[in-house]
């Protein structure tokens, strides 16, 4: 199947699994418009879908009588055996996560850190009901896979569930470290500590020497790393800075830990946009000029991004056999948690913004008015809302839904692979006339829902973001932490207040989280998600912008 120039796989869900999976068809993007590449990827994707069917059958069998029954002729496992089983499972999940991070580009680290922080908060509390669905699903799968004599509700079952919860929390904590550029092998939970560390798949012994500049060229050219043009442009500047400090001709094996630490110190002293401010000037001289002028240094997150990129390149070089060690492993500087960098709107701030100059009395009409509402009530990212096509609004099982997806023809990309999702329309937006707005766009023959919002030359909506942030300031909200993306944070907080289960919130938000997503399952029905998203509410009066049909 091909749509928008990109090849997809469509697989009909077996009839006996429709109720378990929650839909009758699974569709997966092969993320390529090249037919040869599509055929190459087809086998792996088909295997993944079949694995989902197998897992669904195990879940169905486990819950056929309402409870999990012990396997016949199986002894109750000892606590030591349960720990060994969970450690083995966790090691496999971590390997898959690490492999994915070598090939999958994460374009929105702040958004990912927010998701990780939320997951960690839920998993840290053994009594939190939001995590029990994922924990128990995995526990039952392990019982079936290892033919364990464990009955649901027994002491051994609760022990296993607690071990799984600890494993999930450990995975989240490690993913958080990696997202911040720390690729060390330190375990947060001693249960999952592994003696020694890996030195990579290959050894550099006997390999020809390679310069740092050449190493970067090979890394960038690796066909296994597919990077969006915008990200490639950003990284080009980061590579230029790393190369200016280390030296393009320096043999990669001669880069020492001391070099990496010195780079860290220099980055901490460099001002933001140093290359633009001081073109052609050496790093040492830029540091001196910046100190003399009292220029503010670059943010800790930017420093960590550079250190993380260096560590990623060196880790890749280890895997390819060019190096024996990663001298930048674990280097990072203290940074504020993602939740402290940006906060949600307060109720008073929401009222100020949605009663400000952007929202005069009368129906909502422009994209600039609709997009903040979609961020607030659907949890969409700004670019996801701005780029919606008319054909992205559809009925699924009789429920009005928004399909967030990439579109190669229109140059629309998503932040992460898991960002593609179907989200039921919130009743509040229906009441404001969103359905009628889309119908009018369709009647006009428009391709996009908001054709008054034009993307920039790189396909982003930076101009729209700036204009909306100015509207926030104009509404009397001076705190610079409050930007348009904070509306998505507000949705997350409202969903938590409403008690939406973690695995369902993950699907609505399009979160990716350290390779552990499979634990929570996927493919919840539109009716199920509609019931959950309808719980999200705010103490916000929008009667002044109701559509004429609702007045």
Per-residue pLDDT tens digits for 41-57:
666 676 667 667 766 66
In a domain, 323, yes or no: yes
Least confident of 196-205, 384-393, 500-509, 520-529: 196-205
422 has a pLDDT exceeding 80 = yes
Query: Higher-confidence residue: 491 or 225?
Result: 491
In a domain, 198, yes or no: no
180 has a pLDDT exceeding 50 = yes
Mean pLDDT in residue range 118-127: 74
Residues 41 and 104 in one domain: yes
- Map tokens 């938000």 to a residue: 509
**How confident is the model at residue 36, as a pLDDT?**
62
Q: Do the strands 421-424 and 399-404 form a parallel or antiparallel pair, or are they unpaired? A: antiparallel
Mean pLDDT in residue range 211-230: 80
In which band, very low, low, confident or very high, does the pLDDT at 199 lie, cut at 50, 70 and 90? very low
In which band, very low, low, confident or very high, does the pLDDT at 129 lie, cut at 50, 70 and 90? low
Residues 347 and 244 in one domain: no
**How confident is the model at residue 403, as a pLDDT?**
92
Residues 327 and 361 in one domain: no
Which of 334, 358, 384 corresponds to the end of one domain?
A: 334
Residues 176 and 235 in one domain: no
Cα–Cα distance measured from residue 19 to residue 153, given in angstroms and rounded to the nearest whole number: 25
Question: CA-CA-CA-CA torsion for 107, 111, 113, 118, nearest 10 degrees?
Answer: -150
Residues 381 and 454 in one domain: yes
Distances (CA, A) of 12 to 23, 308, 398, 534: 9, 41, 19, 29
409 has a pLDDT exceeding 90 = no
519 has a pLDDT exceeding 50 = no
Mean pLDDT in residue range 443-450: 93
413 has a pLDDT exceeding 70 = no
Mean pLDDT in residue range 358-370: 93
Residues 491 and 417 in one domain: yes
Mean pLDDT in residue range 198-220: 68
Name the average pLDDT for the chain.
79
**How confident is the model at residue 226, as a pLDDT?**
65
**For residue 544, how many other CB atoms are within 10 A of its CB?**
11
Residues 54 and 94 in one domain: yes
**For residue 495, how many other CB atoms are within 10 A of its CB?**
22
In which band, very low, low, confident or very high, does the pLDDT at 197 lie, cut at 50, 70 and 90? very low
**How confident is the model at residue 227, as a pLDDT?**
67
**How confident is the model at residue 195, as a pLDDT?**
53
In which band, very low, low, confident or very high, does the pLDDT at 516 lie, cut at 50, 70 and 90? very low
In which band, very low, low, confident or very high, does the pLDDT at 124 lie, cut at 50, 70 and 90? confident
Cα–Cα distance measured from residue 299 to residue 177, given in angstroms and rounded to the nearest whole number: 18
Which of 334, 359, 391 corresponds to the end of one domain?
A: 334
276 has a pLDDT exceeding 60 = yes
285 has a pLDDT exceeding 50 = yes
DSSP conformational letter for 394: E
Residues 274 and 153 in one domain: no
25 has a pLDDT exceeding 60 = yes
CATH number at residue 431: 1.10.443.10
In a domain, 203, yes or no: no
Highest mean pLDDT among 27-41, 188-202, 512-526: 27-41
Residues 396 and 477 in one domain: yes
Q: What is the CA radius of gyration of the chain?
A: 25
The torsion angles phi and psi of 424, rounded to 5 degrees, stand at: -60, 145
In which band, very low, low, confident or very high, does the pLDDT at 439 lie, cut at 50, 70 and 90? very high
533 has a pLDDT exceeding 60 = yes
Query: Higher-confidence residue: 3 or 372?
Result: 372
- Map tokens 């110190």 to a residue: 265
In a domain, 516, yes or no: no
Q: Which residues of 99-122 are buried (b: 16+ CB within 10 A; e: fewer)?
A: eebeeeebbbbebbbbbbebbbeb
**How confident is the model at residue 106, as a pLDDT?**
42
**How confident is the model at residue 340, as a pLDDT?**
56
Residues 62 and 12 in one domain: yes
Q: Which of 215, 282, 288, 302 is nearest to 255 (CA)?
A: 215
Angle at 219 between CA 462 and CA 34, to 5 degrees: 70
In a domain, 236, yes or no: yes
| Residue 135 contacts residue 161 (beta carbons within 8 Å) | yes
Residues 125 and 225 in one domain: no
State how many domains the chain has: 3
In a domain, 442, yes or no: yes
pLDDT tens by residue, 76-116: 788 889 999 999 888 888 776 665 554 444 445 566 677 77
Query: Higher-confidence residue: 468 or 199?
Result: 468
User: Whole domain around residue 260: which residue ranges?
Assistant: 212-334
Which of 334, 369, 403 corresponds to the end of one domain?
A: 334
Residues 174 and 219 in one domain: no
Q: Among residues of the chain, what percentage have pLDDT more than 70? A: 73
pLDDT tens by residue, 289-327: 888 888 888 888 888 889 988 988 998 888 878 888 888
Q: Which helix (H) or strand (E) holds 173?
A: helix 155-179
In a domain, 137, yes or no: yes
**For residue 451, how many other CB atoms are within 10 A of its CB?**
12
Cα–Cα distance measured from residue 6 to residue 2, given in angstroms and rounded to the nearest whole number: 6
**How confident is the model at residue 289, as a pLDDT?**
86
**How confident is the model at residue 198, as a pLDDT?**
39
In a domain, 540, yes or no: yes
**How confident is the model at residue 536, as a pLDDT?**
95
Cα–Cα distance measured from residue 385 to residue 416, given in angstroms and rounded to the nearest whole number: 15
**How confident is the model at residue 137, as a pLDDT?**
80
């Amino acid at each position: 199947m091909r749509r928008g120039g990109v090849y997809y796989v469509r697989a009909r869900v077996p009839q006996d699994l429709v109720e378990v999976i929650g839909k009758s068809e699974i569709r997966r993007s092969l993320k390529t418009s090249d037919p040869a590449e599509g055929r190459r990827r087809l086998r792996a994707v088909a295997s993944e879908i079949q694995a989902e069917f197998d897992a669904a059958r195990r879940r169905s069998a486990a819950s056929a009588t309402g409870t999990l029954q012990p396997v016949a002729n199986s002894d109750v496992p000892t606590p030591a055996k349960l720990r060994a089983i969970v450690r083995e499972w966790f090691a496999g999940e971590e390997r898959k996560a690490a492999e994915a991070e070598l090939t999958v580009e994460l374009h929105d680290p702040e958004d990912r850190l927010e998701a990780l922080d939320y997951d960690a908060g839920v998993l840290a509390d053994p009594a939190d009901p939001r995590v029990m669905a994922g924990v128990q699903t995995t526990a039952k799968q392990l019982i079936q896979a290892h033919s364990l004599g464990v009955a649901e509700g027994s002491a051994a079952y609760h022990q296993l569930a607690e071990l799984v919860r600890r494993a999930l929390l450990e995975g989240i904590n490690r993913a958080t470290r990696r997202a911040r550029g720390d690729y060390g092998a330190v375990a947060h939970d001693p249960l999952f500590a592994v003696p020694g560390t890996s030195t990579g798949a290959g050894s550099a012994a006997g390999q020809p020497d390679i310069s740092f500049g050449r190493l970067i060229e090979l890394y960038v050219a690796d066909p296994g790393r597919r990077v969006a043009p915008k990200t490639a442009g950003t990284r080009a500047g980061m590579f230029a800075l790393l190369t200016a400090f280390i030296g393009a001709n320096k043999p990669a094996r001669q880069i020492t830990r001391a070099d990496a630490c010195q780079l860290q110190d220099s980055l901490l002293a460099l001002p933001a946009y140093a290359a633009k401010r001081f073109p052609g000037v050496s790093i040492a001289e830029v540091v001196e000029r910046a100190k003399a002028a009292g220029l503010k240094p670059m943010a800790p997150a930017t420093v960590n991004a550079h250190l993380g990129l260096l560590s990623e390149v060196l880790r890749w070089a280890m895997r390819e056999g060019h190096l024996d060690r990663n001298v930048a492993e674990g280097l990072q500087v203290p940074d504020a948690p993602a939740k402290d960098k940006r906060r949600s709107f307060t109720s008073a701030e929401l009222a100020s913004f949605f009663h400000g100059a952007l929202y005069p009395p009368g129906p909502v009409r422009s994209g600039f008015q609709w997009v903040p509402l979609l961020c607030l009530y659907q949890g969409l990212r700004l670019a996801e809302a701005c780029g919606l096509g008319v054909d992205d609004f559809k009925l699924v099982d009789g429920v009005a839904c928004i399909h967030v997806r990439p579109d190669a023809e229109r140059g629309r990309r998503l932040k992460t692979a898991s960002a593609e999702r179907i989200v039921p329309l919130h009743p509040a937006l229906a009441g404001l006339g969103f359905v009628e707005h889309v119908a009018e766009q369709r009647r006009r023959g428009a391709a996009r829902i908001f054709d008054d919002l034009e993307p920039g030359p790189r396909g982003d909506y930076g101009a729209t973001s700036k204009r909306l942030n100015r509207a926030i300031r104009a509404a009397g909200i001076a705190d610079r932490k409050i930007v348009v993306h904070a509306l998505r944070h507000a949705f997350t907080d409202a969903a938590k207040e409403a008690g939406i289960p973690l695995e369902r919130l993950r699907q609505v938000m399009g979160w990716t989280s350290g390779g552990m997503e499979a634990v929570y399952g996927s493919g919840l029905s539109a009716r199920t998600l509609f019931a959950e998203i309808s719980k999200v509410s705010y103490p916000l009066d929008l009667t002044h912008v109701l559509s004429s049909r609702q007045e």
